[in-house]
């Protein structure tokens, strides 16, 4: 088969990468093992937070570019892909102030509210510490975003093949399918989420990737209220920070960040061990939600030890992985980085994201 660029994995990162490649004039082939709309990975569901609470330059660079690209992808839609209903970060000042300072340096509008002011505005929630409000942030229409990426790839002459698993990828760019047929590519982009480790050639030394099954839940509101997206930066007795957002038609999504059990992605138990704690959290902090209406959602996180991303290249192979439960908002910018790694031999991602171990040079 003619050489070109193959993207292995058609979740949000693979589709965003395919879109970036298509915008650059390539005609990528995106291969996804599951059917369109599947719930086996990390990209399904109606919403994801567009959370701007970062202070590191590497993430703010991606964030600013992602916002531009989400707007571009929204062209022609009745509603933009980002619903800017506001986002609140609630927690200790020593975690909020670095973010506010970084925002000021980038022209991102955010401001501090005291707990009483925040509670008066967002009456379904309870606040006990300062709140950093970003009024131009909110949530991404995630399911619509996947459809838009796919359509844009096809419109540019690329291809997205659902229900097309990949058996193996070789360092030379040979992609082997289960029936034994092969695609020989100039570049192979591996954006396979929980299945990344099994597909990256063994000769490429990746950092550790831990796959967990996470269980946020949707809760039904008790009354009318203004609901922002949110992060609650917690300490004991809770197991982790909390995130969430309003999800039209499903309620308010609430979840602990990165508390799930490590799993084999092909044999997930679909069992939550934190649902009781999550209900207790909602009872304490969300007077506007009915804690007894929890409808759990199962998804995977594929995480690095430090929760920083892996955007790197080794020979013909480009890997995007380790998004650690906070990658979706960055997807179009990450796709652009990965596309440049495929198309530009001299291009490198920011040093923070270069995770492939390099052999030591001999002297």
The full set of domain ranges for the chain reads: 5-44+143-205+306-353, 87-135+211-303
**Dist. CA 200–CA 191, nearest whole Å:** 10
Sequence length of the chain is 363
pLDDT digits (tens, 9 = 90+) for 286-320: 999 999 999 999 999 999 999 999 999 999 999 99
What burial class does residue 107 get, using C-beta atoms within 10 Å of its C-beta: 0-12 exposed, 13-18 middle, 19+ buried? exposed
pTM of the model: 0.96
The mean pLDDT value for 78-94 works out to 97
pLDDT digits (tens, 9 = 90+) for 8-27: 999 999 999 999 999 999 99
233-266 burial, b at 16+ Cβ within 10 Å, e below that, comes to bbeeebbebbbbbbbeebbbbbbbbbbbeebebe
Residue 360 has pLDDT above 90, yes or no: no
**Dist. CA 58–CA 270, nearest whole Å:** 34
Q: How far apart are the first and last CA of the chain?
A: 41
Tokens 């902090």, located at residue: 285
The mean pLDDT value for 152-164 works out to 97
Residue 362 has pLDDT above 80, yes or no: no
Asked if residue 210 lies in contact with residue 329, where contact means CB atoms within 8 angstroms, the answer is no
CATH H-level superfamily of 87-135+211-303: D-Amino Acid Oxidase, subunit A, domain 2 (3.30.9.10)
* CATH entry, 5-44+143-205+306-353, from 3.10.20.30, 3.50.50.60, 3.40.640.10, 3.40.30.10: 3.50.50.60
pLDDT digits (tens, 9 = 90+) for 35-85: 999 999 999 999 999 999 999 999 999 999 999 999 999 999 999 999 999
């Amino acid at each position: 088969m003619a050489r070109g660029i193959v993207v292995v994995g058609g979740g949000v990162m693979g589709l965003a990468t395919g879109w970036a490649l298509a915008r650059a004039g390539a005609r990528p082939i995106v291969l996804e093992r599951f059917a369109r709309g599947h719930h086996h990975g990390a990209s399904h569901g109606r919403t994801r937070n567009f959370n701007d609470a970062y202070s590191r330059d590497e993430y703010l660079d991606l964030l600013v570019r992602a916002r531009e690209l989400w707007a571009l992808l929204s062209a022609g839609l009745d509603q933009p892909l980002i619903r800017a209903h506001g986002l609140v970060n609630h927690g200790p000042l020593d975690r909020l102030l670095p973010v506010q300072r970084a925002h000021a340096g980038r022209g991102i509008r955010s401001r501090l509210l005291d707990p009483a002011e925040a509670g008066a505005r967002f009456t379904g929630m309870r606040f006990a510490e300062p709140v950093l409000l970003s009024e131009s942030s909110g949530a991404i229409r995630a399911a619509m975003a996947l459809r838009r990426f796919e359509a844009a790839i096809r419109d540019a002459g690329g291809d997205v093949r659902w229900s097309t698993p990949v058996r193996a990828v070789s360092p030379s760019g040979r992609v082997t399918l289960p029936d034994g047929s092969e695609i020989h590519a100039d570049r192979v982009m591996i954006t396979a989420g929980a299945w990344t480790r099994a597909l990256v050639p063994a000769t490429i030394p990746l950092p550790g990737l831990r796959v967990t099954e996470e269980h946020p839940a949707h809760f039904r509101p008790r009354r009318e209220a203004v609901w922002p997206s949110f992060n609650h930066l917690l300490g004991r007795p809770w197991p982790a920070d909390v995130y969430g957002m309003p999800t039209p038609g499903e309620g308010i999504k609430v979840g602990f960040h990165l508390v799930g059990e490590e799993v084999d992605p092909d044999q997930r138990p679909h069992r939550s061990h934190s649902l009781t704690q999550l209900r207790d959290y909602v009872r304490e902090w969300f007077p506007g939600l009915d804690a007894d209406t929890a409808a759990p959602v199962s998804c995977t996180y594929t995480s690095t030890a430090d929760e920083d991303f892996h955007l790197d290249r080794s020979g013909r192979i480009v890997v995007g992985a380790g998004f650690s439960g906070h990658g979706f908002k960055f997807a179009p910018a990450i796709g652009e980085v990965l596309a440049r790694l495929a198309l530009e031999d001299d291009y490198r991602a920011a040093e923070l994201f270069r995770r492939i171990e390099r052999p030591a040079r001999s002297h």
